[in-house]
């Protein structure tokens, strides 16, 4: 028999049934009583008609209804300590169920977890926050945990509780502001969100789990309890040697891919390829083409297809558009076993305003700055992370480390670094807040990026980090201990802009813009540069790479071949967006497949064959890659012939490995016979590659396999070559010495 509730207990019960009680464990579950009375058990089961307590198959107590909304209570005769009971309930629908009581289980987080989470130094917070299938006290279920320190109440809701926020209110760990709950019987594949009541009493839109490891296929927005990892990795050989493949002297040639539009399945309504299908199709293609790495446009879960992944919601979940987390592991493993590295395009700078996302997460500006002059990014209508808040920084750092750890990724390319570094980025005067010294540098973001690089390289040696940074910020790819940001490489946006501007001009006017091609060498070795021809260069009205080229159809293809030859000869690692390797004529469209049918046309096949051969030449010749980040690997032979729009330079390995290469470009449609070029040594210079070769669709003008140097001094060199320079073409000559 139970006693009637006191006035304070009655008020607590009212708060519980209104889903406003901030400490459900104070009421629900087993509770010891004073004065030698037996253990009392309470349960809140809306729509239940009767509730009983079961121990080892036997009914040991019947609970009485103490609130009309479905709160039941009763003593268990002869029991004074909590025990492993189950509940049996008969519901208004007529259904009867026996089940574990969520509120008899202990806390999910340990005291050390609480301390580290509060400190913002829990580098494996993703192993505690989110949803994890676990076994507690011999019972299988899912442990949920979410950071929402300013909420009045948080409940986990899902199919398992009919999305009723009253059913599964969570326990708050006040030391770190995390709400937690172990829900027995909930397993992998279960859909869920968090129902959060703000301190003001306002009920917020249901929130997806910031640390979810899986999510529904958009446009649906629920988080999904991910299954435990079952994939058995077979990439041990790659992992032991990847440091060499990712180093400054390695031949790094990256194929940038949007998985949703590389190829589709037209006979099945144009659906996406799965991760496993991509392993079967994309990986062999990349190997054949000679690329060393694949960079994936963001595959962290995102709601809007048109953002291409750059407005993510789930920084710990591979998008469900292509399959499960283990399917993605299979894809990465397949890349590694084929000798291909995988880079993640990662977006820690901003996040979208979707109501189920991070914005106003617990009713306050939790992840973002409260002041829109700091917390709103007008370019993309997104919110900016508060990098100075230790829990937010820890959340972001954990995301990067999670992908490197759980998915064996080989590197991280950080998007929009400039927007993070500058407080006035894309803002008018008066629309930004200076730092504490009155400057425009975002000191908190700088500290965050440095910490990110320190952790990434220390915890995962052999990986690479790459910055998309479009300004002259010094030391982006210099070590933190030297005052740099600590990235391994930086995108050379200046080279990209100048070289594309040059090749887009009619050759008649290129003589007056010769410095567009030479200027990049003035700062080439100030950073460890990567030369990017990315997705950003083939969208938003810019036209395709082929479409930018001037002239008639033949000249367009010749210009493109010359540009690609120039790019692969120029110092710097390479990145080429999908479709550019075969001269797709139209802008990239994320909603459709690439125009693979164009490969039936010889001119497009020629571009593809050229890129394949350039990749293999770049990888096979130490002269073309070992000096990418070392000035000893480059020397001008002819930088000043603007009249003829001719450039020539040497590439060599700083350690004198392999042969010296002479790279010559003629960027006019006029063939040049008898062109004398100074070289440092004697011997025969074989023609290793000619972008005007007939096999690439060119006119086949060249040097009949090579040229022998003459003892005629020219331009401060004791020897010289007399060359035939094909029109709109690049030659690569190999010295025998």
C-alpha angle 291-293-295 in degrees, rounded to nearest 5: 120
DSSP state of 648: E
Nearest to 392 by CA among 349, 353, 443: 349
- 432: helix, strand or coil: coil
DSSP state of 465: E
Cα gap 76→62, rounded to integer Å: 8
Task: Render the burial of 461-493: b for 16+ CB within 10 Å, e for the rest.
Answer: ebbbbbbbbbeebebbbbebeeebbbbbbbbbb
Kindly give the pairing relationship between strand 573-577 and strand 529-533: parallel
Catalytic residue numbers? 415, 468
DSSP letters of 27-41? TSEEE--STTPPPEE
Task: Render the burial of 220-232: b for 16+ CB within 10 Å, e for the rest.
Answer: ebbbbbbeeeebe
Name 653's Cβ contacts closer than 8 Å, sequence gap at least 6.
622, 623, 626, 627, 633
Q: Which residues are registered as beta bridge partners of 490?
A: 467, 529
Q: What are phi and psi of 422, to 5 degrees?
A: -115, 125
Nearest to 726 by CA among 679, 664, 676: 664
Task: Render the burial of 40-51: b for 16+ CB within 10 Å, e for the rest.
Answer: bbbbbbeebeeb
Q: Which residues are registered as beta bridge partners of 729?
A: 666
Q: What are phi and psi of 601, to 5 degrees?
A: -95, 130
Name 575's Cβ contacts closer than 8 Å, sequence gap at least 6.
253, 254, 256, 295, 491, 530, 531, 532, 533, 534
Cα gap 97→427, rounded to integer Å: 59
H or E element that contains 431: none
């Amino acid at each position: 028999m139970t006693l009637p509730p006191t006035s304070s207990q009655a008020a607590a019960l009212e708060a519980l049934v209104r889903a406003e009680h901030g400490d459900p464990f104070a009421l629900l579950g087993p509770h010891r009583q004073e004065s030698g009375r037996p253990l009392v058990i309470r349960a809140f089961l809306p729509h239940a008609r009767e509730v009983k307590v079961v121990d080892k198959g036997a009914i040991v107590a019947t609970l009485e209804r103490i609130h009309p909304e479905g709160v039941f209570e009763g003593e268990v005769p002869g029991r004074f300590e909590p025990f492993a009971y189950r509940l049996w309930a008969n519901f208004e629908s007529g259904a009867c169920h026996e089940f574990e009581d969520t509120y008899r289980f202990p806390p999910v987080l340990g005291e050390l977890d609480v301390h580290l989470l509060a400190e913002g130094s829990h580098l494996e917070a993703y192993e505690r926050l989110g949803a994890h299938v676990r076994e507690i006290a011999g019972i299988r279920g899912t442990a949920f945990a979410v950071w929402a320190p300013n909420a009045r109440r948080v409940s986990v809701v899902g199919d398992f509780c009919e999305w009723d926020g009253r059913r599964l209110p969570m326990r708050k760990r006040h030391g770190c502001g995390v709400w937690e709950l172990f829900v027995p019987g909930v397993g992998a594949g279960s859909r869920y969100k968090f129902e959060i009541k703000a301190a003001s009493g306002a009920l917020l839109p249901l929130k997806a789990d910031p640390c979810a490891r899986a999510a529904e296929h958009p446009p649906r927005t629920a988080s999904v309890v991910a299954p435990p990892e079952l994939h058995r990795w077979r990439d041990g050989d790659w992992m032991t040697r990847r440091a060499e493949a990712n180093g400054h002297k390695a031949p790094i040639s990256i194929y940038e891919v949007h998985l949703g539009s590389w190829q589709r399945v037209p006979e099945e309504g144009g659906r996406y390829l799965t991760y496993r299908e991509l392993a079967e199709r994309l990986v062999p293609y990349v190997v054949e083409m000679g690329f060393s790495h694949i960079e994936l446009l963001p595959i962290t879960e995102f709601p809007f297809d048109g953002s291409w992944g750059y407005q993510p919601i789930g920084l710990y979940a591979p998008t469900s558009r292509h399959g499960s987390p283990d399917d993605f592991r299979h894809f990465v493993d397949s890349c590694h076993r084929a000798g291909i590295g995988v880079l993640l395009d990662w977006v820690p700078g901003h996040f979208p305003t979707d109501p189920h996302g991070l914005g106003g997460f617990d009713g306050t500006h939790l992840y973002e700055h409260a002041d829109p002059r700091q917390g709103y990014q007008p370019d993309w209508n997104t919110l900016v992370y508060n990098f100075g808040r230790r829990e937010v920084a820890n959340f972001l750092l954990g995301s990067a480390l999670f992908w490197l750890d759980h998915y064996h990724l080989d590197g991280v390319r950080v998007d929009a670094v400039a927007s993070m570094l500058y407080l006035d980025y894309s803002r008018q005067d008066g629309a930004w807040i200076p730092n504490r010294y009155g400057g425009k540098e975002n000191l908190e973001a700088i500290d965050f990026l440095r910490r990110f690089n320190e952790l990434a390289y220390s915890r995962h040696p052999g990986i690479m980090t790459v910055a998309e940074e479009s300004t002259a910020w010094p030391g982006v790819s210099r070590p933190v201990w030297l005052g740099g940001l600590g990235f391994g490489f930086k995108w050379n946006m200046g080279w990209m802009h100048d070289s594309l501007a040059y090749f887009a001009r009619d050759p008649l006017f290129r003589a007056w813009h010769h410095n567009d091609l030479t200027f990049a060498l003035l700062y080439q070795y100030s950073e460890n540069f990567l030369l990017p021809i990315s997705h950003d260069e083939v969208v938003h009205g810019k036209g395709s790479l082929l479409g930018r080229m001037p002239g008639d159809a033949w000249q367009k293809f010749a210009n493109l071949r010359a540009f690609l030859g120039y790019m692969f000869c120029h110092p710097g690692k390479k990145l080429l967006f999908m479709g550019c390797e075969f001269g797709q004529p139209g802008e990239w469209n994320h909603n459709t497949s690439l125009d693979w049918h164009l490969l039936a046309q010889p001119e497009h096949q020629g571009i593809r064959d050229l890129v394949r051969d350039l990749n293999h030449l770049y990888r096979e010749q130490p002269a073309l890659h070992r000096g990418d980040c070392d000035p000893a690997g480059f020397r001008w032979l002819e930088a000043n012939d603007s009249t003829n729009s001719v450039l020539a330079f040497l590439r060599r390995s700083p350690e004198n490995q392999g042969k010296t290469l002479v790279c010559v470009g003629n960027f006019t449609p006029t063939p040049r016979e008898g062109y004398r070029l100074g070289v440092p040594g004697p011997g025969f210079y074989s023609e290793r590659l000619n972008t005007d070769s007939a096999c690439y669709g060119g006119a086949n003008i060249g040097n009949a396999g090579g040229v022998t140097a003459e003892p005629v001094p020219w331009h401060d060199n004791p020897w010289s070559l007399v060359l035939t320079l094909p029109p709109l073409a690049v030659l690569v000559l190999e010295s025998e010495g």
